[in-house]
Structure 1
């Protein structure tokens, strides 16, 4: 019985003592709109702490007193830490906004007027400065073909070919 309890309770206890740091980024090419749609799911408390550190301000990302200022901080942070190239050309990500869902912040960006692509390269080091164990799940969908990879700090680069 003791071995059973240790086998199941130890991981639960360890996760409480050592939380995990994971974000999810999905990049989808919408052929109908000829746009690259990007969404990043980041734990709200981690993003809020990073924004406070980078901007030297107090911030409540869930209920901001000044939503345009919060949007500006989120936009700047994401665009500093997420870089995407399509067929070797750097893309300019346009920030659309963010939405809170449970304990996560969903950040939305896009690149409009983009022709179909054959290769996508990205660099994602969101929260790497804050958490040595930060990881990112990256999902890229182009022409209904899905490719995924995981990046663990310090690895920040990935390439996808379609």
Structure 2
């Protein structure tokens, strides 16, 4: 529980900044990993500020980027998938999992991206390597939550660190 004490003030600050229409002063993203024992899968969702995400996609892939424009959805799906698969790697029980891109949606000033790994039969330990937005900001913070049953382990990764490992 003490590990989570840093999250509440941070998230409140970000929320208040966004709701006031102020450009966010923090460079933060979140990744939620949840083991689904019934489906034998690992469900992953990432949340990234849309303006930052569009900036890095345009910079890396040298193309017009607009995640909220319906006519660009197919093209955006391709670059979002390419970016997330290359900037988020997960090992479960010491073995890399193959992440399948499910899709993305815009939620106010953030973009939620969904991925899934199948054939995950158990989860004793997890290693997350996250470099989302590292090629855009040198003060990037990634908040990682990993849930296995009723146990949730969380931590933050501060640039230049990239990895969070947890055991269940």
Q: TM-score, normalised by structure 2?
A: 0.84
Q: Give how far 1:121 is off.
A: 0.5
Q: Give how far 1:110 is off.
A: 0.4
SS at match of 1:140: strand
Aligned pair in 2 of structure 1 residues 18, 45: CA closer, same or farther (>3 Å)? closer
Q: TM-score, normalised by structure 1?
A: 0.87
Alignment check: 8 A CA contact 1:22 1:135 kept: yes
SS at match of 2:54: helix
Structure 2 match to 1:83? 89
Aligned pair in 2 of structure 1 residues 18, 105: CA closer, same or farther (>3 Å)? closer
Indicate yes or no: 2:43 matched with 1:37. yes
Stretches of 4+ moved more than 3 A in 1? none
SS at match of 1:41: strand
Aligned runs of 1:1-162 on 2, under 5 Å? 19-162=25-168
Gaps of 5+ in 1: 1-11
Alignment check: 8 A CA contact 1:26 1:138 kept: yes
Gaps of 5+ in 2: 1-16
CA distance in 1, matches of 2:33, 2:107: 19
Q: Give how far 1:113 is off.
A: 2.0
Kindly provide the CA deviation profile for residues 60-118 of structure 1, in whole angstroms up to 9, marking residues without a partner as x: 11115331111010001001000000111111100000010000000000001210111
CA distance in 2, matches of 1:135, 1:59: 23
Alignment check: 8 A CA contact 2:66 2:72 kept: no
Q: How many residues align?
A: 148
SS at match of 1:65: helix
CA distance in 2, matches of 1:144, 1:105: 27
CA distance in 2, matches of 1:17, 1:142: 35
Kindly provide the CA deviation profile for residues 36-63 of structure 1, in whole angstroms up to 9, marking residues without a partner as x: 0000000001010110011100111111
